[in-house]
């Protein structure tokens, strides 16, 4: 098992982590995404910016399979995943977080992260209780440590503060051996201190893990990414390095509402 994962990872090097070919999605007459074509190399860190309703979260939903695109192809490390069920994509190393926390309110923090680790390994139907020495349980402990949630391990998720719930969102995305992560506004509603923590956590991710981050806070987005895609009305309309985007007049017009120097 471990060797096959390693082999697939080796095979993955050199190809793109994520390739989108002309991906579109419409809900009835509403065009949420149209003709998105994107190539993201393994290990690359991409920020996706755009105003509300630009189609950013719809793009994530299409990539993770929360719903299928109306047309277009999506490849993950060279493999066509366009029609795969969400859990199959996750087991191949794709991960995501949600803009509005999607958590298990009545489970403990530890059990939540344990399930995320179990979901990408074997024994998902086990009727035996996981011991403290269980592999997935050990990994859950180390992830809780990495996102600074050790002290909250036994607390029910529903009683966590907003900031802690956002940390748990990230913890769930780190389970197993992620190869590529989609972060949907991880900084939403965080305090300035929590934002600094978040930037630290994102920058501490091993370099082979690439990610796409949707973020309204340019401070966060431009500090953790090495390339930026701008979306508007369901289309990609500009790509560049963080510096290029920051200084682009058209971007400032649409995204920052003009008047930025």
Rounded to whole angstroms, the Cα distance separating 83 from 260 reads 43
Question: Which ranges constitute the DSSP H helices of 93-213?
Answer: 109-119, 135-146, 162-173, 192-203
Q: Residue 107 CB, nearest distance to another protein (Å)?
A: 6
Looking up tokens 């769930």 gives 172
Which stretch in 21-29, 69-77, 158-166, 189-197 sits in contact with another protein by CB under 8 A?
158-166
Is 160 a binding residue for another protein by CB under 8 A? The answer is yes
Rounded to whole angstroms, the Cα distance separating 55 from 235 reads 8
Residue from 79, 141, 197, 248 touching another protein (CB under 8 A): that is 141
The DSSP symbol for 157 reads G
Is 261 a binding residue for another protein by CB under 8 A? The answer is no
The mark string for 209-228 relative to another protein (x by CB under 8 A, - otherwise) is: x-------------------
Q: Is 141 exposed, middle or buried (0-12, 13-18, 19+ CB in 10 A)?
A: middle
Rounded to whole angstroms, the Cα distance separating 187 from 192 reads 9
Q: How many distinct helices (H) and strands (E) make up the chain?
A: 10, 10
Is 125 a binding residue for another protein by CB under 8 A? The answer is yes
Residue from 33, 45, 77, 111 touching another protein (CB under 8 A): that is 111
Residue 46 or 110: the one with the smaller Cβ distance to another protein is 110
Residues lying near another protein in the complex (CB under 8 A) are found at 2, 64-66, 85-87, 90-91, 95-96, 98, 102-107, 110-112, 114-116, 118-120, 123-133, 135, 137-139, 141-146, 150-156, 159-161, 164, 172, 174-178, 206, 209
């Amino acid at each position: 098992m471990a060797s096959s994962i390693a082999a697939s990872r080796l095979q993955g090097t050199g190809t793109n982590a994520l390739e989108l070919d002309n991906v579109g999605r419409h809900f009835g007459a509403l065009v949420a995404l149209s003709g998105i074509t994107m190539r993201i190399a393994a290990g690359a860190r991409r920020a996706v910016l755009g105003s509300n309703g630009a189609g950013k979260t719809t793009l994530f939903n299409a990539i993770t399979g929360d719903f299928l695109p109306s047309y277009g192809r999506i490849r993950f490390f060279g493999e066509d995943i366009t029609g795969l069920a969400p859990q199959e994509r996750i087991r191949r190393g794709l991960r995501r977080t949600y803009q509005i926390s999607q958590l298990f309110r009545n489970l403990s923090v530890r059990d939540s992260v344990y399930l995320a680790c179990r979901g990408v390994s074997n024994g998902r139907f086990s009727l035996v209780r996981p011991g403290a020495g269980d592999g997935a349980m050990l990994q859950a402990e180390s992830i809780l440590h990495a996102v600074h949630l050790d002290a909250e391990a036994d607390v029910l998720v529903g009683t966590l503060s907003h900031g802690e719930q956002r940390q748990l969102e990230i913890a769930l995305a780190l389970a197993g051996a992620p190869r590529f992560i989609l972060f949907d506004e991880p900084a939403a509603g965080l305090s300035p201190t929590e934002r600094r923590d978040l930037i630290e956590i994102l920058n501490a991710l091993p370099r082979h893990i690439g990610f796409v981050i949707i973020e309204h806070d340019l401070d966060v987005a431009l500090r953790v990414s090495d390339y930026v895609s701008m979306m508007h009305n369901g289309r990609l309309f500009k790509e560049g390095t963080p510096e290029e985007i920051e200084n682009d007049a058209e971007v400032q017009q649409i995204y920052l509402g003009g008047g930025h120097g």
